[in-house]
Amino acid sequence: LFIKYYSYIGSCIHNGQLHPLTEFVNGGTLKSLIQDVEKNPFPREQRIQLSLDMAMGMEYLHDNGMLHRDFNSHNCLLRKEGDRYTAVVADFGLATKNPNLIKKLRRNQSMVGTPYWMAPEVLHGKEYNEKADTYSYGIVLCEIVSRKDADPDEIPRNNVREREAEREVLVTIAIKLVYSRHLGTQ
């Protein structure tokens, strides 16, 4: 299994700040690919593959007790080999151990992330778990499908009940895609 995140090489201090050193990922961000409508037709197969890559990367994090907490199209890098892209989950600066998996629930978890991709429970300062990352993943899927910005004026969010139903549909689709990939059926 090829894990869809990038490799940590080490750290350095520059101008008094600690910086992680990671492998170079040559294809830019998913955000730039989504926005490049004129130069990149972004075929359906490529959209599906990148969605699967991201799902596998997030699945790996969650299976290992981590929450990303800032998953968005800016934090998904692309490896480019010829005309083929592979999505790589990146920027773990806000990542944390999943409190549900380590059995230490906290009432006032930090409200962190990028607002357009934040789940309602995070925005409202409520308890959250890996489903908050799944919500962010769903917003990224909406960006991929629509090729629109995650701004709520571009991709409207509905009322809370509809949002929960949409999240369940997106989770179901993502799970089916990942399992079909693992089982070799497309």
CA separation, residue 156 to residues 140, 150, 162 (Å): 13, 9, 12
Tokens of 103: 């059995």
The least confident of 9-13, 27-31, 77-81, 108-112 is 108-112
pLDDT digits (tens, 9 = 90+) for 69-122: 999 999 999 999 888 899 999 887 788 886 655 444 444 466 778 888 888 888
> Are 78 and 29 contacting, i.e. CB atoms less than 8 angstroms apart?
yes
CB atoms within 10 A of CB 26: 10
Residue 1 in domain: no
Rounded CA gap, 35 and 171, in Å?
Answer: 24
Burial of 4 (0-12, 13-18, 19+ CB in 10 A): buried
Rounded CA gap, 11 and 19, in Å?
Answer: 6
- pLDDT computed for residue 107 by the predictor: 43
> Are 139 and 150 contacting, i.e. CB atoms less than 8 angstroms apart?
yes
Tokens of 86: 């592979």
Residue 109 in domain: yes
Rounded CA gap, 142 and 54, in Å?
Answer: 14
Beta pairing, strands 8-14 & 96-97: unpaired
Range of the domain at 154: 8-183
151 is catalytic: no
- pLDDT computed for residue 163 by the predictor: 56
- The residue among 179 and 141 whose pLDDT is bigger is 141
User: What are the φ and ψ backbone dihedral angles of 141, each rounded to 5 degrees?
Assistant: -60, -40
- pLDDT computed for residue 177 by the predictor: 63
CA angle 157, 160, 162 (to 5 degrees): 75
Residue 164 in domain: yes
Residue 152 in domain: yes
Over residues 40-66, mean pLDDT: 90
Over residues 42-58, mean pLDDT: 91
Q: Which of 36, 53, 63, 70 is catalytic?
A: 70
> Are 123 and 69 contacting, i.e. CB atoms less than 8 angstroms apart?
no
Mean pLDDT for the chain overall: 79
What CATH number does residue 178 fall under?
1.10.510.10
- The residue among 144 and 19 whose pLDDT is bigger is 144
User: How many structural domains are present in the chain?
Assistant: 1
Those residues whose C-beta lies under 8 Å from the C-beta of residue 164, and which sit 6 or more positions away, are none
Residue 2 in domain: no
User: Which 3 state secondary structure label does DSSP give 141?
Assistant: helix
Residue 161 in domain: yes
- Nearest Cα neighbor of 12 from 2, 22, 24 is 22
- The residue among 48 and 165 whose pLDDT is bigger is 48
